[in-house]
A and B are shown apart, each in its own frame.
Chain A
Amino acid sequence: MKTTPWKGLLLSAVFAGASGAAFAEDVTLTVESWRNDDLGIWQEQIIPAFEAKHPGVKIRFSPSAPTEYNAALNSKLEAGSAGDLITCRPFDASLALYDQGYLSSLKDLEGMGNFSPVAKSAWITDDGENPFCVPMASVIHGFIYNKDAFEELGLEVPATEAEFFALLDKIKADGNYIPMAMGTNDQWEAATMGYQNIGPNYWKGEEGRNALIKGEQKLTDPQWVEPYATLARWKDYLGDGFEAQTYPDSQNLFTLGRAAIYPAGSWEISGFNTQADFEMGAFSPPVKSAGDTCYISDHTDIAIGMNAKTEHPEEAKAFLNWVASPEFAALYANALPGFFPLSNEAVKLDDPLAEEFVSWRETCEPTIRSTYQILSRGTPNLENETWNASANVVRGTETPEEAAKRLQDGLASWYAPQQ
């Protein structure tokens, strides 16, 4: 595994040399990415589709291992050997690249018009002037459930929180299934699948998130504490020994049919489709009372930008415009169910579970995870502290109020608008 990027580099050097000599008129664009899982999809679907429309431009997808990507990309950019197109991590990692002049501003790219402000929020300067990556996909939070188990127990999908807890009580009373598969050992499960999953309904999505960034709301305000209080109630519905249950444990509990509900991110879909031999459904985070507007976490996750030092800016821009088009969105979304395109145009998905997730976009207001933009730039790091606080609250070792106070104090210690 460790040698892959180097092999990739060597290969790319060889290929670059060879293609340069053989097809002088062809332009080859190299795509840097951490999605080595997607190599097949790029080579078999995405690249041929693009090349068919743009003769004379060749695309080469050159991924490295996810954990090595940031470091490898940084050193390639510094050395001037990075590819023409750069897959962008969300928020500060990419913003830093833009600030250092490694990524071009895409302010004038026509395709950017296809995206909403939320979609662009992860790859834009703080003043909202210069977007620098074309959003490719997001992941949506919600709950995946075991349809067979629900039918067996005669359960209905819950719409409100009261119904949700009544449902959990019923599953628990029946005793055949663990009501919910989540553990606190890895901490991020409690924060990402728990707090960030149900939270937007309380802080009203973007409204609360932006107010927090502006310093108009505090983490100790009721709308930020209540999700913790709800999370604390989950404790009784998790499996025995959930304190030591890891993320793969939770996945296995659910796909083996031992748990009825899985607090999920949509990225689980393709894995679950191959693992589980029962039918699955999904429901969005239940609202507090019937008729409330629902909010979902539609978290921007992956985008693509242009290396500012590329020798072929025109061709690279053509590619980025194509990435912004509905054609790419449909290709990508169907190849990777659970990674949803961010463009404004609706895309038809073949996977029913993925279709269910994406349908919430029409009824609910989307937002991104509250801690990701700006608020995790300092020490203590709000995102990491949120992991810790969420796990503590679920385990019952810290009260929601204490946890919120600790987070607020931590944030206020370095973030001026909160002081």
Chain B
Amino acid sequence: MTTSSKAPIRWHIAVFLAPATLIYTAIMILPLFGTLQLSLFREIEDVQTFVGLENFQTLFGDPRWSSSFWNAFLNNLWFFVIHMLVQNPVGILLAALLASPRLRMRAFYRTAIFIPTILSFVIVGFTWKLILSPLWGVAPTLLDAVGLKFLFAPWLGKEEYALTTLGLISVWQFVGIPMMLIYAALLSIPDEILEAAECDGITGMAQFWKIKLPLILPSIGIISVLTFVGNFNAFDLIYASQGALAGPNYATDILGTFLYRTFFGFQLQIGDPNMGSTIASIMFLIILAGVCFYLFIVQRRLRRYQF
């Protein structure tokens, strides 16, 4: 054993870390700070001028900006709630079914449910738009076939349904991810524990609620955080199916589409990088706050079990 006085500098650590650090800095950290910086400036007579927090003041103080912002924020929150209420419970249920030892054709189900996740948003948006089309879609035809035509509405075109519909489409696409993570967590529960539970007379549903669920709670926590980050960064599905104006009447406008319209402009509207960065900075803060809440409040209270 070498003594501490002659500990060699361990260069290899720096060498191995360098590529990831450099690339991550160049493509993530620098742009992030660039955005934060841009949000503190404003173009006054063709010159970028430092204006402090004035852009933020505009975003929250100006009635037009703030109503657009809060509309997008609340829509985004609802989008997240749909995922938490539908995607994650359904994902857990599917995982529990997949982990059931009596299930046959497990690999097929697993693959089939996971496939939509790897599809492009454009394909998903377009396919569902066609399925739900009141003119040529299969949805009205199928409902008609079972005598439920009266239930059909042009969902994507109605203010009250459009966002929920898109939320459910997104759930359909991404339910494979919580399913896979939970499935992996369920498989990692040692058989001895389950056998011990059976010896104590805990089987079936009771076994799931009392033994398995507490053991997969940390995974559910991680999934919740991933869902939160993903939803508050969402943009593609709305853009692909409803366009940048997020119709009808901004009912599907979320922070991502609001940012896009502001930053890059749309049609005759010329982009405003400064206000766009302001929105992006707020999005960053929202996500940061959510992740911190999880890390410092929720995660510490989660009980972990060592096997």
Contact = CB atoms under 8 A, between A and B. Distances in A.
A186 B135 contact: no
Contacts of B243: 186-187
Interface in A233-258: 239-246, 249, 252-253
B155 interface: yes
Contact of B134 (A241, A252, A398, A413): A241
Contact of B270 (A92, A185, A252, A387): A92
A243 B270 contact: no
Q: How big is chain B's contact interface, by range? A: 20 to 34
Interface stretch (A141-149, A163-171, A373-381): A373-381
A264 B132 CA distance: 25
Interface string B206-224: 0000000000000000000
Nearest to A387: B245
Interface in A61-83: none
A395 B249 CA distance: 10
Contacts of A371: 268
B248 A410 contact: no
B133 A249 contact: yes
A244 B268 contact: no
A122 B60 CA distance: 36
Nearest to A249: B135
Interface stretch (B93-101, B109-117, B156-164): B156-164
B269 A384 contact: yes
Nearest to B68: A380
Contacts of A382: 268
B248 A391 contact: yes
A388 B250 contact: yes
Contact of B135 (A184, A253, A372, A395): A253
A243 B158 contact: yes
B64 A413 contact: yes
Interface string B134-164: 1110001000000000000111111100000
In this complex, the member of B159, B267, B268 whose beta carbon has the largest number of chain A beta carbons within 10 angstroms is B268
Given A185-B247, A388-B250, A392-B249, A244 B155 contact: yes
Contacts of B156: 185, 243-244
Given A388-B247, A397-B249, A410-B64, A92 B268 contact: yes
Contacts of A245: 133-135, 154, 157
Interface in B260-274: 266-270, 272
B245 A242 contact: no
Contacts of A240: 134-135, 154
Interface residues of A, number: 38
B269 A244 contact: no
B269 A381 contact: yes
A301 interface: no
Contacts of A388: 245, 247, 249-250
B268 A376 contact: yes
In this complex, the member of A184, A240, A379, A382 whose beta carbon has the largest number of chain B beta carbons within 10 angstroms is A379
B157 A243 contact: yes
Contacts of B140: 241
23 contacts: A92-B268, A184-B247, A186-B243, A187-B245, A241-B133, A241-B157, A242-B134, A242-B157, A243-B154, A244-B154, A244-B155, A244-B158, A245-B133, A245-B135, A380-B64, A381-B267, A381-B269, A383-B268, A383-B269, A384-B245, A387-B245, A388-B249, A397-B249
Given A241-B157, A382-B268, 18 more contacts: A92-B268, A183-B157, A185-B242, A239-B134, A241-B135, A243-B157, A244-B154, A245-B135, A246-B129, A371-B268, A376-B268, A379-B275, A381-B267, A384-B245, A388-B250, A392-B248, A397-B159, A398-B249
The 3 A-B residue pairs with the shortest CB-CB distance, nearest first, are A241-B134, A243-B157, A244-B154
Interface of A: 91-92, 183-188, 239-246, 249, 252-253, 371-372, 376-377, 379-384, 387-388, 391-392, 395, 397-398, 410, 413
